[in-house]
Each structure stands twice: as C-alpha cells, then as structure tokens.
C-alpha cells in the first residue's frame, strides 16, 4: 500500500508545481492583455483583413455571461479579474479539441463575453490545413485559405487566424461596448499627451 501511494505521489504534480503553473498563466495573461491597447490592436488586425460574410453565427458564447460559460465548461484552470482599467475578466481553460491540446481564453466585459480564443501550440502543417478546412466549411460551406481572411457573421462578430509559433483562432465581438470604451480612453490619452506636449513647447519658447 505504501509503495502504491509513493508511486501516486510521484505521478501527480505537487501543490507547489500546481500553484506555479497557475501563477505562470496569470503572469502570461496579465502581460499579454494588461493594456487595453492590446485588445484594440487585435480588433484593428481583424479589420485590416479581407472580410467574407457568413450566415452562421460565430461562437454562440459571444455576448453570453460568465455564469453560462461555467455551466457549460465547468471551473476554469485560472481566472483573472480587473485585468485592465476597464476591469474586464478572463477565464482560462485547457482541454483536448479534435485530439489536440488546446488553451482557451474567454474575455468578459460587464459580464458579457467579447473575445474567445483557441490556442494550439503543437500542430503539424497538416494539422493546420485540416483545422482551416473545418473552420471554412463550417462558416462558409466551402474550403478556402483563411490566411488573410476575416469571417464576419450577421451580428458583426469576427473570426480570424494568427499562425506564428502558436496557431490561434480568434472569435471577436467587434461591436462590444468594451472596444467602444477602450477606443474612447485611448483617444483621451492621445489628446492629453498632445496638450502636454504643446504646453512644454510653449514653456520652452517663453523661457529660452
């Protein structure tokens, strides 16, 4: 019995490893999304792509509440609250999708989901082709290359890809209040910085 318990202890992660794993994801997500500009840049990236309309709604979870997500997916691997000045929330999950290890992020503002992502870190070129085919057939009823394409549904939600060291699928509620408020904050910051610059220039001219 003692021998079996020792083997189980070795096989299972220690509490230290468990909390380190969670803290590592906190750090990564905080670094990635700690500034609202990260989100606005993501929206801008989707807007720059050629848009193809789809009659199929992108991710029914978009616009849904965190309570709905918890009912469907259970407790997340970790959760972050008040991630930016707009106090949005992120739920982070890990699971298998089509046999592939997948990281999933769900982002909420005022308890409404505005961003959903799948991240695949270990795909072969053939795996990527199959994923793109499945995605395009589901939303466009045909197989096309989505490399420079943004799929847009009737509600204005966007689906697009990022293929780098990781392969990421973004589902984004472009008309979410989060983006409207984020863009307002950025515009105000630009105006304030411009005024400061003009005041400093005026001071220099007066005192030199």
The helix/strand/coil state of 101 is strand
Structural domains in the chain (count): 1
Residue 9 located in a structural domain: no
Top-confidence residue, 38 or 2: 38
In DSSP terms, which residues pair with 157 in a beta bridge?
173
Residue 12 located in a structural domain: no
pLDDT at 89 over 80: yes
pLDDT at 49 over 60: yes
Q: How many CB atoms lie within 10 A of CB 41?
A: 11
Please give the residue range of the domain that contains residue 68.
36-201
* Single pTM value for the model: 0.82
3-state helix, strand, coil in the chain (%, to 5): 45, 25, 30
Residue 103 located in a structural domain: yes
- C-alpha 203/C-alpha 208 separation (Å) is 8
Alpha-carbon dihedral angle through residues 11, 97, 112, 141, given to the nearest 10 degrees: 180
Residue 43 located in a structural domain: yes
DSSP code string of 111-176:
TEEEEEEEEESS--HHHHHHHHHHHHHHHHSS----TTEEEE-TT-EEEEEEESSSEEEEEEETT-
Place of tokens 């589902």: 171
- 206 pLDDT band (50/70/90 cuts)? confident
pLDDT at 9: 44
Is 91 within 8 Å of 76 (Cβ atoms)? Answer: yes
- C-alpha 37/C-alpha 56 separation (Å) is 29
pLDDT at 43: 96
Residue 19 located in a structural domain: no
Mean pLDDT of 97-121: 95
Residue 23 located in a structural domain: no
Of the candidates 115, 119, 31, the residue with the CA atom closest to the CA atom of residue 66: 115
Average pLDDT of the chain, as a whole number = 86
pLDDT tens digits for range 123-181: 999 999 999 999 999 999 988 889 899 999 999 999 999 999 899 999 999 999 999 99
Residue 185 located in a structural domain: yes
What angle (nearest 5°) sits at the alpha carbon of residue 90, between those of residues 88 and 96?
160
Residue 60 located in a structural domain: yes
pLDDT tens digits for range 56-79: 998 888 999 999 999 999 999 888
What angle (nearest 5°) sits at the alpha carbon of residue 180, between those of residues 175 and 184?
165
- 18 pLDDT band (50/70/90 cuts)? very low
pLDDT at 17: 43
């Amino acid at each position: 019995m003692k021998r079996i318990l020792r083997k189980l202890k070795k096989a299972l992660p220690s509490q230290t490893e468990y909390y380190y794993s969670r803290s590592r994801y906190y750090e990564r997500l905080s670094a990635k999304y700690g500034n609202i500009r990260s989100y606005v840049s993501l929206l801008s990236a989707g807007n720059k792509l050629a848009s193809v309309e789809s009659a199929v709604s992108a991710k029914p979870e978009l616009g849904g509440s965190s309570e709905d997500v918890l009912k469907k997916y259970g407790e997340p691997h970790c959760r972050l609250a008040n991630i930016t000045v707009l106090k949005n929330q992120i739920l982070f999950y890990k699971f298998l999708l089509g046999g592939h290890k997948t990281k999933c992020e769900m982002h909420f503002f005022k308890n409404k989901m505005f961003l959903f992502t799948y991240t695949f870190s270990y795909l072969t070129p053939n795996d990527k082709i199959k994923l793109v085919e499945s995605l395009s057939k589901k939303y466009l009823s045909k197989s096309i290359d989505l490399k420079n394409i943004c799929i847009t549904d009737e509600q204005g939600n966007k689906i697009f890809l990022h293929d780098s060291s990781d392969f990421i699928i973004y589902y984004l509620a472009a008309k979410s209040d989060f983006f409207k408020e984020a863009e307002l904050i950025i515009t105000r910051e630009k105006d304030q910085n411009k005024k400061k610059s003009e005041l400093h220039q005026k001071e220099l001219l007066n005192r030199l």
